[in-house]
Structure 1
Amino acid sequence: MAESPIIFADGVLEANVRHGVARMTLAVQGGDGKPAASGMLVVPLTQLPALAGSLTRLLREVEAKAKEQATRAAPASEAPPAATENAPLPPAFRFQG
Structure 2
Amino acid sequence: MKKKTTLTKMHIAPSTVRYDAVAARDSNEVGQILAGTRKRNGYSLVAFSELLRHYGVDVSDKGISKWEKGYTTPSIYQLVAICYALNIKEGPSY
**Fold shared by both chains (TM-score > 0.5):** no
Kindly indicate which of the two structures has a greater share of residues assigned to strand. 1
Q: Which structure is higher in RCO with an 8 Å CA cutoff and minimum separation 6?
A: 2
TM-score, normalised relative to structure 2: 0.30
User: Normalized per residue, which structure has more helix?
Assistant: 2
